[in-house]
Amino acid sequence: MRTVDTALAAMLSAEPRPLFLVGLAEAMTLLQEVGTAAGAPAATVVKGSLTDGPESVLLQELEPARAALAAQEISRVDTALDNARSRRTFAAGLDEVWEAASAGRAAMIAVEEHFQPTVRLTDGHLTPLSGEPEGGWEAGVREDIVDELVETALDHDTEVVFLPDDRLTAHDRIAAVLRY
> 162, 114 in Cβ contact below 8 A?
no
pLDDT of residue 120: 84
The string over 141-169, giving b where at least 16 C-beta atoms fall within 10 Å of a residue's C-beta and e elsewhere, is: bbeebbebbbebbeeeebebebbeeebbe
Q: Does domain 76-178 have CATH number 3.90.1150.10?
A: no
How many angstroms separate the most distant Cα atoms in the chain? 64
| Half-sphere exposure for 8 (CA within 13 Å, toward CB) | 19
Closest CA to 110 of 166, 159, 170: 159
Domain with CATH 3.30.1330.30 in the chain: 76-178
pLDDT of residue 176: 98
In eight-state DSSP terms, residue 133 is P
Q: What is the mean pLDDT of each run of 10 residues along the chain (180 residues)?
A: 90 89 87 84 82 84 91 96 97 96 97 92 82 59 89 97 96 96
Q: In Å, how far are 55, 65, 114 from 70, measured between CA atoms?
A: 20, 9, 17
In one-letter notation, the amino acid at residue 128 is P
Q: What is the DSSP string of 65-114?
A: HHHHHHHHHHHHHHHHHHHHHHHT-EEESHHHHHHHHHTT-EEEEEEETT
Residue 106: count of CB within 10 angstroms of its CB: 28
Secondary structure percentages of the chain, helix, strand, coil, to 5: 45, 20, 35
Tell me how far apart the alpha carbons of residues 180 and 171 are, in angstroms, rounded to a whole number: 19
